[in-house]
Structures are given as C-alpha cells and as structure tokens.
Structure 1
Amino acid sequence: MSQLVTKTRKTLKELIKATKELTVSRDADVFAEVAFNFDCESLNYGAVQRQAGNFTIQYAVSPNPNSGNTAPSVTYDDVISTFDQLKGQAFVDAGLILLSYSYEQSDVVTDPKTGSVSIAFSINITVTEKRN
C-alpha cells in the first residue's frame, strides 16, 4: 500500500475521532468506519509528477442498544462540522494536499421494532502528497 493511502487513512481516522470515539461497545454508540475505498492515479501538479488518490470513506452511526435512545448521540451534522473545521490543518500536518472533498448522506434506517434510527454517510476526498 502506498504512503498516500496510509497517510490518508490515518488522517481521516484521527480527524473523525475528534468528534466521537470510534468504538463499538455496550457503553457507547456504534460509530464505525464501514468501508475505505480508494483508487490512485498519476497527476501533474505544479510541474511535478505525483500520485493522487480518490477516497470514499463510509461510516455508520447507531445508538447504543442498551441506552433506550432512538437516535445516536452524534449526528451527521456534528461529524461534518468537525471535518470542515479541522480538515485544513489535519491534512497539512500529515504532509497531504486536499484537492477536493464532498459529502453524501446515504441512508437513514429506522428499526421498525425498536424505533432506533441509524445513519450511514460517506466523505469523498481527493488528495496528493506534498512535495518540497
């Protein structure tokens, strides 16, 4: 796996963790990365040949089953707001250049028996490594 993929995966895990611990247990809501899809390509950027990556990272958020809550304690808006606020510095600190980003809220699923609501969403980014 390339350094670009490794750095991007680490940066996103740290950045999203800033909002809510990514844990699954009886004591916490389920907030999990469910897919990390990517493809890499060659790119001419600033007269330098480098590798760029297109990443789609999918997440699922569900309330703690024992809490009695019908919605998770963290919302889609909470996660996206945190990503928006921290993305610039997080990618710079990782030696990455964030070329583009977009968000997709996929599904809101309601369990008919419990009324529990789960959400799924993805963050799509294109990045390249910073070169001196």
Structure 2
Amino acid sequence: MVQAAAHAADLAVDDPALTEAADAAEGSVARALTLLGGDAVKLHQRTAALLATLPQVDPRELHALGDALGGSDRVALATFIDSVDRWVGERLHTDDANTNLPRLARLAEVWEKINRAARDTAEYNLERKPLVFSVFGMLAEATR
C-alpha cells in the first residue's frame, strides 16, 4: 500500500508524511493520498483522539476542531466525516456488538443522521462548527 501511494504521489517510500498518512489510512491507498494534502493527517488524529473520549468530550476541544474545519475546505470536512465513519464502523463491527442491540441500533441511526448532516453541510456550504458539536452530541448520547 505504501509503495502504491508513494508511486501515485511521486514521493519516496520512506517519506515521513507518507508513512504517517499510510498509518492513518488503514490500508487504503485512496485515503492515504487524501490524507497527504495539507493538515488532513493532523485533523484525522485530532478527531480520533476526541472520539476516543466519548461519551465525555471537552467543549473547548470541539471549538478548536470546529475552527480547524472552518472555511470551505472540502478535504477537511471529508477527513472529519471519514474519521467519524470509521470510528462508528469499528463500533458496529466489534466482536461483542450483538450483546447490546439497542445501543447498536442507536449508533446505526446516528451514523445515518451524521452522514445526512455532513452532506447538507457540504452541499449548502454551511458552518462546520455546529456540525462538529452536533456529531459529538449525537455520538455521546448513542454511546451512553
């Protein structure tokens, strides 16, 4: 995967940025190439760190994440949503996922709402910070 991404991005296989993007991409060449642009890897890491604290989240960190998503950068928004999607997907596919079916159903419902809100935010170029708070609010409620 690293070799394919290095070839596609015209980078050396041992390039530190490529290594970091490959680690975050979890085997996806396309995701690694997306993460190579700008601050996408840092945004992914920041989002993953906040997701790991659920259902407790520091509102100041959410403000900072919302600021990092500010503007109309579609790559930043896509990186944020991809990070959330992967986190939810991991929760839905754990070995013990079927032990708490109501929680699993809530999480699946929230996943659908998050993706709808993300599409609307991208399509209508809406503010990103309210999306961040909404996403983390829904996930916190679903994971309690």
Instruction: Provide the TM-score with structure 1 as the length reference.
Output: 0.31
Relative contact order higher in (CA < 8 Å, ≥ 6 apart)? 1
Higher helix share: 2
TM-score (norm 2): 0.29
More strand by share: 1
